[in-house]
Amino acid sequence: MRRKRIAITGGIGSGKSYVCSMLKGKGVDVYDCDSAAKRIIRSSDAVRRELTKLVGADAYFQDGSLNKQAVAEFLLASEDNKRAINNIVHPAVADDFLGSGYEWMECAILYESGFDKLVDTVVVVTAPEEIRIGRIMRRDSLSREDAQSWIQLQMPQDEVKRRADFEIVNDGTLDVDRQIEEILYNIKTKHVTDNISDFR
C-alpha cells in the first residue's frame, strides 16, 4: 500500500512557504513545484526541445539558460500560449514529483495545473485579503494595486477552501503550529477517503 500524498496550497501572500518551513522543522520534507519547474526547464533536454519548438530559437540562450523575457512574452501573449507552455512543463513536473519519493508537495496552482489529482489530501493556507496584500507589498515592494492584481489572477481563496480537506489560517493571530500538529495527527491516524466532509 503506497503512502498518502499531501499537497500544501494557497494564494499569494497566504504564507505557504512559512508553513512548509515549519513542516521541515518537524521532519516533513516538501517538494516545491515552482523550484522543480525551474530546474526541469533548465535541465531537461525533452522540455528544452519542446519549448524551443513552441517559443522559437530564442527560448534559450547559447549557454543553455532560459531566456525568461522571451518565454514570458510568449506566455503573456494569449491564453492559448500559456496553456501550450503549461502542457509541456506540468506533465514533466508531475512525473518528477511522482518519482521523487516525496509525500508532500507545495503548489500554488494546485487545481489549475491538475496536480490535485496526484495527491490524496489537500491542505490550504489562508489569510484575510488585507493581510495578504500587506505581505505582498512588503515582500515584493509593490503598490497596493499591484498586490491586489496578483491576488485577482489566482483562483479565489474561498473556492480553494471549498475544495481542500484541511485549512491552516495564517492570520498572525491563530496558532499555526497547533493547526499543523492537528493536521499531521489526522493524516497519520485517519484514513482519508473521497468524502472530505469526514474531516471538516
| 48-101: pLDDT as tens digits | 999 999 999 999 999 889 999 999 899 889 999 999 999 999 999 999 999 999
Question: 35 Cβ partners below 8 Å, 6+ apart?
Answer: none
- Order of strands across the sheet with 30-32? 30-32, 104-106, 6-9, 121-126, 166-169
CA torsion sign for 40, 11, 194, 103 is positive
Pairing of strands 166-169, 104-106: unpaired
CB 146 within 8 A of CB 86: no
Average pLDDT across the chain, whole number: 92
Between CA 191 and CA 179 the distance in angstroms is 19
Between CA 186 and CA 180 the distance in angstroms is 10
Question: 185 Cβ partners below 8 Å, 6+ apart?
Answer: none
By C-alpha distance, which of 78, 34, 74 is closest to 50? 74
Report the SS3 class of residue 164.
coil
pLDDT-based confidence at 189, cuts 50/70/90? confident
Q: Looking at the DSSP assignment, which residues form a beta bridge with residue 166? A: 123
Query: How large is the average pLDDT for residues 161-188?
Result: 96
**Number of residues written out for the chain:** 200
Q: Is the pLDDT of residue 126 over 50?
A: yes
**So what's the pLDDT on residue 26?**
96
Give ∠ CA 20-23-28 in degrees, rounded to 5.
110
Reported pTM = 0.86
Query: How large is the average pLDDT for residues 136-154?
Result: 93
Q: Is the pLDDT of residue 179 over 90?
A: yes
pLDDT-based confidence at 1, cuts 50/70/90? low
Between CA 159 and CA 184 the distance in angstroms is 23
* pLDDT tens digit sequence for 24-47: 999 999 999 999 999 999 999 999
Q: Is the pLDDT of residue 181 over 80?
A: yes
